[in-house]
Amino acid sequence: MHVSFYEAVCEHRKCRTEDFGYPKVRTMRQFRWYLEEKEFERMAEFLPPDVVPSSAFWLTDGTHYLGSGDVRHWLNEGLMKFGGHIGYSIRPAVQNKGLGTRQLVLLLIEARKLGVEVARITCFEENAASARVIEKNGGVLVEKVFNAIRGEERETRVYDIEIMRKKKKYD
């Protein structure tokens, strides 16, 4: 699986994908370090106070790495406007095949297991593909905000997806 993961990293680099969570993995040692870091991120007691725990998931076809996603267990103030509960990425070679939509469904299931009732998800205004994936999965646009990203103001779409059905009075 390391080989296809590394190939995906190379594809993202070649396409100049703007993905803030994508690792810079070039060697097997860095790959092992990346996996250890992802395991560490799940444990709240070891994280700095401004970092929330998250769980990492891979989308595969059983043999090849197709994409990855993270589910943040809760949100701090910053993540409410940029990042949200869920971040995901599909490798360029398999984009536009419905995998992003499927991956978000799976990540929403994982968020629900963590007790998240309404998942917050963000994407840049110009990222029409991500906006479509979020909206296909029930995303409701809450607001548009500007975030300072690497010294540049970027318009960001902020969505909520209700994933925990609230019990009705007569349920």
What would the two tokens of residue 167 be? 């019990």
- Written as one string, the DSSP assignment of 38-95 is HHHHT-GGGS-TT---EEEEEEESSSSEEEEEEEESS--HHHHHTTBSEEEEE-GGG-
Parallel, antiparallel, or unpaired: how do β-strands 86-90 and 65-72 relate?
antiparallel
Answer whether residue 57 shows pLDDT above 60. yes
Task: Identify the pLDDT of residue 109.
Answer: 96
Burial track 4-24 (b if 16+ CB lie within 10 A, e otherwise): bbbebbeebeeeebeeeebbe
d(CA 91, CA 108): 20
In this structure, how many other beta carbons lie within 10 angstroms of the beta carbon of residue 157?
21
Task: Identify the pLDDT of residue 39.
Answer: 85
pTM over 0.95: no
Q: Which residue range(s) make up the domain with 91?
A: 2-162
Q: Is 171 contained in some domain?
A: no
Per-residue pLDDT of 147-167, as tens digits, reads 988 889 999 999 999 997 655
Answer whether residue 168 shows pLDDT above 70. no
Answer whether residue 169 shows pLDDT above 70. no
Q: Is 119 contained in some domain?
A: yes
Per-residue pLDDT of 124-144, as tens digits, reads 999 999 999 999 999 999 999
CATH of the domain at 107: 3.40.630.30
pLDDT band at 30 (very low <50, low <70, confident <90, very high): confident
Q: Counting every residue, how long is the chain?
A: 171
- Based on the structure, what is the number of domains in the chain? 1
- Higher pLDDT, residue 40 or 80: 80
Q: Is 150 contained in some domain?
A: yes
Q: Is 28 contained in some domain?
A: yes
Q: Is 168 contained in some domain?
A: no
Q: Is 145 contained in some domain?
A: yes
Q: Is 151 contained in some domain?
A: yes
Q: Is 167 contained in some domain?
A: no
Per-residue pLDDT of 77-133, as tens digits, reads 999 999 999 999 999 999 999 999 999 999 999 999 999 999 999 999 999 999 999
Answer whether residue 33 shows pLDDT above 80. yes
Task: Identify the pLDDT of residue 82.
Answer: 93
